[in-house]
Amino acid sequence: MEKQKLPNATAVLVLGILSILTCCCWGVIGLILGIVALVLAKKDLALYAENPEQYEGYSNINTGRVLAIIGIVLSAIYLVVNVYMYVVLGEEGIKDFQENLIEKIKHQQEME
C-alpha cells in the first residue's frame, strides 16, 4: 500500500518558519502563526500515531513543531519587552530613548 502524506505537514512547516520570521511584528503575528502551527501539528501527530505505517511526512511535522515553539518563545519575549517599555517608559520615553540612540550613533560616525 502506498503511503499518504500527512495532510498538514507542509502547512505546519511553513507556519513554523513564518512564526520565527514574523516574531518582531509586535510579537503578535509570530505568536498567532506559531499557535496555529502547533494546533495543526497536534492533529497530524494524532493521525500519525493511529497508523504510522500509512503516513509519511513525520519529519516535516516534527521540524515545523519545533520551529513553531521557537517562534512562540521569541514572539512572547518580544511582546513582553514591548509591553514593559510602554509601561515603564511610556511613548515619550521611548521616543527620547530612540532620539538619544540616534544622536550617539551619529556622533560615533563623525568621530570615525
Per-residue pLDDT band at 39 (split at 50, 70, 90): very high
Residue 50 pLDDT > 90: yes
pTM of the full predicted structure?
Answer: 0.84
Report the distance separating Cα 109 and Cα 8, nearest Å.
50
Place of cell 550613533: 105
Tens digits of residue pLDDT in 92-102: 998 999 999 99
Contact 44, 15 (CB under 8 A): no
Residue 1 pLDDT > 80: no
Predicted pLDDT at 53 = 92
Predicted pLDDT at 100 = 95
What are the counts of helices (DSSP H) followed by strands (DSSP E) for the chain? 4, 2
Contact 69, 14 (CB under 8 A): no
Per-residue pLDDT band at 26 (split at 50, 70, 90): confident
Contact 65, 41 (CB under 8 A): yes
Predicted pLDDT at 107 = 93
